[in-house]
Amino acid sequence: MTLSYAGAASSKFSIISTTKRPRSKRSGRPLRTGDHLVQSGALSPDDLFRGLALQRHEDAKLGEILRALDLVSRKELQCALSAQSGLAWIDLRTLTAASILLNICAPEVYLTHSFVPISNDGSIVTVALADPNKQSYVSDILAKQSLTAHFVLADKDQIHAAVARAHKTHLVNNSVQVRPSQSSCRAILSFKSRVIFSLLAFVLLCLLVTTGWFYTGLFLWIAATLIANTALKAVCVMASLWPKPKTAERLKARQSLPKVSILIPLLNEVSILERLIKRMEVINYPSELLDIKLVIEASDTATLTHINQSNLPSWITPLVVPNGEIQTKPRAMNYALDFCAGSVIGIFDAEDAPEADQVYKAVRHLQAGDDKLACVQSILDYYNSGTNWLSRCFTIEYAILFRVILPGLQALSLPIPLGGTSVYFKRDALESLGRWDAHNVTEDADLGILLYRKGYRCEMLESTTYEEANFRLVPWIKQRSRWLKGFVITWLTHIKNPIQLYRDVGLPAFIAFNIMFFGAVSAYLAAPIVLPLWLISFGITLPIYAQIPPSILHTAVYGFIATEVFLFCLAIIAIRQPHLRGHWPSTLTLFLYWPIGAFAAYKAVFELIFAPSYWDKTSHGINDQNFDKSIQNLTKSTLNIHKDFKSLQ
């Protein structure tokens, strides 16, 4: 049987269920969804009790819990919802005409509340919704426009797909423009700005070549940069070693677990897709509370085809991002966020292998914090660190950053540049900032600074995600150049109004910000000038330093050697973890590793002028299969989430 709607003569929708609302023989009240499932024989009373018991401690609907536990089929649940509400259930997959989707609300409202108007007959609007409890909310919206609602039920995914088709242009444009212009790098990366930057770089180069005094000043700037970077790291080391204060437990007796949406942006990830799904399936968090989105670019037909052929769990769904003016990870996440159901938003990369209890720990950490705690950042590590020398040095560098520097910044109450993966946000805070800057290729670090400027804070999470280290030289340089380019973009974005930045963050954070971003890039750019100091330390005279006063030059040599010794000690401190201790011989060779970043830095400067939003994609799944057993051992967890409910009762 089919049903035609006025205003959509060419569209027909299959009625799946038109059952009348059954009522309890005792009270005369309509049966609840669970009662109907039991009465129809689709669910046992014991399983209903099990679902209701879990619902007491979870921010999930009973139907979601029963489906996630595979206690009822999709069709059985649809029939129960239709019978309980008295609404017909229809199939929207044949809905293709965008003109019948009325512009009553913004598309974001349709997606958030999972409803969509599909036709109208004068003042009567037929609205398809996924949750019968939303009838009152939608009726109030229509009443303000002198419209009356006629409701039908439809699958949430079908509703979202219909909205995405009808409002494609709006959603795509919003994914690029959602970040307010005053906190975005859009204006900075304009053609005019890049021309000015190029002219300044040319003038700088001319001064460098033609004037001796400028060369001396540049050398002093480089020395100051190295000293500042070393000083900040030293302070962070001391702060990270301070005894950590015990956090008071703020969890309320019956605080329920929230729904968590996890975004996994994918681009040309066919080689690692199956292993990614398996790693997500071992996450020890109630599946009815997980909403994992595989975010795929429309141009990536190979990955999309592979996903469509995969047997995904109900809580892992693909989401296609239409093509737009740019193709960046933050743009894809901005688009995907409207389709997410969670109040906590997490991010993973395609090669990530998080510890199984990480999501649970992140949720409880956020719940235990105050309103100013906006996100938590997990520790990042590498599962293929033993591949070669480059991967070992890369692993040591990450250990320094995530196990020493970032905890030190937290202890000092300084801004934390986020790592871009295995970070979890309170959705309200993320939305209040304008989400991610779609044009910034290090949207994570930028967001960490913006959080701090707006009075929020980020804390480190005692949980580790293991990734695949870049163990090939050219891909390593490409990846590092994207990071350094993003650091410059982030610095320019926030320093464009230095007085306001100072007022927002205070003097210590202002100094730390400039050292972390501009100072770090300066250090890499200075490598060709600084490295020859090794030769001077052995008494070799070099013409390039002829114009530098001997006292300044000798001081710089001693400072350079002291910096290298400090970095060695820092590396030793960072690899205290049992699985990292075997890398200590590589710490002796780090002085050969750091200069490689100079190639990436100059590539970053070139791209900053000619391709500022270009995303130099890193390939994944190159050799992670060789470490499958190690990954399983590193990420295993014995935590049983539902045991926690006993302590909450």
Nearest-angstrom CA–CA distance, 560 and 537? 10
Nearest-angstrom CA–CA distance, 485 and 441? 7
Inter-residue contact 190 to 439 (CB < 8 Å): no
Percent of the chain with pLDDT over 90: 51
Question: What's the confidence (pLDDT) of residue 91?
Answer: 86
Nearest-angstrom CA–CA distance, 521 and 442? 14
- The alpha-carbon radius of gyration of the chain (Å, integer) is 28
Closest by Cα among 359, 444, 427 to 639 = 359
Question: What's the confidence (pLDDT) of residue 72?
Answer: 83
What is the pTM assigned to this prediction?
Answer: 0.89
Given the structure tokens 């180069």, which residue do they identify? 205
Question: What's the confidence (pLDDT) of residue 55?
Answer: 78
Question: What's the confidence (pLDDT) of residue 355?
Answer: 95
Partners of residue 261 on adjacent β-strands: 291, 345
Question: What's the confidence (pLDDT) of residue 171?
Answer: 94
DSSP SS3 for 19: coil
Query: What CA–CA distances, in Å, run from 489 to 69, 184, 521?
Result: 46, 10, 11
Which residues, including other chains, have CB under 8 Å from residue 202's CB and lie 6 or more apart? Answer: none
Q: Residue 169: count other Cβ atoms within 10 Å of its Cβ.
A: 11
**Helix H or strand E segment including 340:** none
Strand 148-153 and strand 124-129: the pairing is parallel
Condensed to tens digits (0 to 9), the pLDDT of residues 24-33 reads 444 445 677 7
Listed as ranges, residues in the chain with pLDDT below 50 are: 1-12, 21, 23-28, 248-249, 252-253, 642-649
Question: What's the confidence (pLDDT) of residue 82?
Answer: 81
Question: What's the confidence (pLDDT) of residue 637?
Answer: 67
Question: What's the confidence (pLDDT) of residue 109?
Answer: 92
Condensed to tens digits (0 to 9), the pLDDT of residues 544-562 reads 777 777 777 778 788 888 8
**Helix H or strand E segment including 586:** helix 584-587
Question: What's the confidence (pLDDT) of residue 33?
Answer: 77
Domains of the chain: 1-13+91-166 (3.30.300.160), 19-87 (no CATH), 192-649 (3.90.550.10)
